[in-house]
Structure 1
Amino acid sequence: MDILKEAFALENAKMSGMTTSNRVETSREAKRIILAINEIYKETKDTSLMDVMKRLTAKKKKIDKRLKGRQPDTF
């Protein structure tokens, strides 16, 4: 499965020193991979695919959090 190779490559990719445009591109790529794995999961119900999706989603959330930046405290 080609999509799983992409998923593992993204999962093991180093995130330090990325530019904003690289973060946006990686976030979009993660979303594409997650959705593609989800389509396969719907057919096979393989729990290992769900684990891969969870790990990629966690990584995507970290990237998105970094993209949005810190929200100022409001009083």
Structure 2
Amino acid sequence: MELIEKALEFESRTMSNMTTSDRVEASREAKALILSINQVYKETKDPELMDIMKRLTAKKQKIEKRLKGLPPETI
């Protein structure tokens, strides 16, 4: 499946030395991949697809956490 290949390629990509716009683009790509895989998962209920979606979601959350930056310290 082409969709799984794209997801695995995205997952193996390194996320160091990314600009902010690269992070935004990567986050959007991850979201699109997750939603596409979810459509297939609804029909097949393949546990491998669920594992891929979980890994992509974890990577997407790391990217978004870095985009938001550190919260201001409250004193």
Same fold (TM over 0.5): yes
Instruction: Determine helix, strand or coil for the equivalent of 1:54.
Output: helix
**Alignment TM-score, normalising by the size of structure 1:** 0.97
Per the alignment, residue 74 of structure 2 pairs with 74
Gaps of 5+ in 2: none
Post-superposition shift, 1:47? 0.4
Considering only aligned residues, what root-mean-square deviation do their CA atoms show, in Å? 0.6
Amino acid at match of 1:28: R
Post-superposition shift, 1:74? 1.6
The percent of aligned pairs where both chains have the same amino acid is 63
**Alignment TM-score, normalising by the size of structure 2:** 0.97
What CA distance in whole angstroms lies between the structure 2 residues aligned with 1:4 and 1:44?
Answer: 14
Gaps of 5+ in 1: none
